[in-house]
Amino acid sequence: MNQPAELMDIDGLGGTTPVSLANACYACTSCYKNSATAQFKGYDLELFEELLEASNELKVGSLPAEMMGPATRMIVDKGEKLGYFMEPMPKFIDFTKCDGCGLCILGCTKGAKWDANDFIKEINETENNTEILSNITVTRVIHDNNRVNGVEGIDSKGETKHYHSKIVVIAAGALNTPKILIDSDVTNEVCDGLFTDLFITVGGYLKDVNLNTEIPMGVKSEFGPYFISPHFSNQLIPIIEDKGFNPKAGDIMGMMVKIADEANGKIYSNGSIEKELTSRDINLLKEGYDKSVELLKAVGVDPSSISSTPIRGAHPGGTAAIGKVVDKNLETRIKGLFIADASVIPQAPGRPPILTIVALAKRLSKNIVEEIYQKV
């Protein structure tokens, strides 16, 4: 674990949702004090109603027993014998359409997994005055230091465009949102407090286990600031080969260890990122590693093959946190300028944040509509 961490980042319509593993961890609000929704309560922002709405719209449900593959069942059986509570992972998957191919990360071709483009399709299928521009890169927010007036962007031809509005919502993600704010001279405590929900995948050789063909991360076991879950990673193949094995993808059995890392990172105005791994972060990863090794051995993985991927981060947040950059209404110091993405979450929840972000967007939309009606 002495290697530098890798920060994963994907840009595009729908954000990272098309390549997500469909994990909807709203259930963690009751089991871990640093869950995103628990943090918001400290700022008088309650998302319970919006979480229920989002869960219904995204068809969130736990992985059915009949869709749990043999490798995942082995993990459940051996994990519970070791004293770990193994529970089905909540997923935003319509299991009536899912064939269990295990390729969630490549984008669902069956229409079973929800992603944010479903909202775009809904808008396009509804008669309204909404226009979606997907070929504009927003560069800055236009404001007079007290009130927002719109945004500036560059189109696919390199031409600068201006769009005027008294309400602007930035949801460009925790790496891009702060850059837009800095370039817009909205700099109060922006870019500090970056977390990434650090994770590793620990795995080894178990011939023809075929975890790679099952629904990924079908179950989990919670340990406060971290959890472990079955996970196939291609990165393990060359590492295990270096140990003298000749594994195919179907011969890899793996466990993900995901932690709530410390929010100590920073994004600089040039886009560079600084994120130091603390002794707490490393100790949590080691704890999860040890539990994963114990579980992998129990299911029959060759002990001499057990390896770990590099440390990675896939859920950046905290760079425009509530209580610092936005208030309980998710509004910045610039009137009419709001933020609705993971950058407003103050501390790492150590759990996939998609459902929470959808709930935040719902709450914000309600607030904006209510304010508009009050002025009519």
Residue 203 pLDDT exceeds 50: yes
Tokens of 243: 């140990």
pLDDT band at 145 (very low <50, low <70, confident <90, very high): confident
Decide if 273 contacts 228 (C-beta within 8 A): no
When pLDDT is averaged across residues 182-210 and rounded to a whole number, the result is: 94
Structure-model confidence comparison of residues 194 and 133, the more confident one: 194
Closest residue by Cα to residue 52 from 359, 300, 306, 372 = 359
Residue 375's pLDDT is what? 65
The residue whose two tokens read 């920073």 is: 266
Hey, CA dihedral for 318, 323, 329, 335, is it positive or negative? negative
Q: What is the pTM (predicted TM-score) of this model? A: 0.91
Say whether 372 sits in a helix, a strand or coil: helix
Residue 44 pLDDT exceeds 50: yes
How far, in Å, CA of 191 to CA of 45, rounded?
A: 22
- Amino acid sitting at position 138: V
Residue 124 pLDDT exceeds 90: no
When pLDDT is averaged across residues 120-134 and rounded to a whole number, the result is: 83
- pLDDT (tens digit, 9 = 90+) per residue, 262-313? 999 999 888 889 999 999 999 999 999 999 999 999 999 999 999 999 999 9
Residue 374 pLDDT exceeds 90: no
Residue 3 pLDDT exceeds 60: no
Residue 72 pLDDT exceeds 80: yes
Structure-model confidence comparison of residues 204 and 35, the more confident one: 204
The residue whose two tokens read 């100790």 is: 283
Tokens of 281: 């972060």
When pLDDT is averaged across residues 253-261 and rounded to a whole number, the result is: 97
Residue 348 pLDDT exceeds 90: yes
CA-to-CA separations, 47 to 171, 177, 357, in angstroms, rounded = 18, 22, 10
CA-to-CA separations, 319 to 266, 275, 316, in angstroms, rounded = 8, 12, 8
How far, in Å, CA of 138 to CA of 314, rounded?
A: 23
All structural domains of the chain, each given as residue ranges with its CATH number in brackets, are 59-113+198-313 (3.30.410)
When pLDDT is averaged across residues 46-58 and rounded to a whole number, the result is: 92
- pLDDT (tens digit, 9 = 90+) per residue, 9-33? 777 778 888 889 999 975 344 445 5
| Cα maximum dimension of the chain | 72
| Cβ-proximal residues to 294 (8 Å cutoff; 6+ apart), any chain | 82
| Cβ-proximal residues to 173 (8 Å cutoff; 6+ apart), any chain | 9, 11, 15, 16, 316, 341, 342, 343
Structure-model confidence comparison of residues 154 and 191, the more confident one: 154
Residue 339's pLDDT is what? 97
Residue 121's pLDDT is what? 85
Residue 29's pLDDT is what? 41
CA-to-CA separations, 353 to 26, 185, 231, in angstroms, rounded = 8, 28, 18
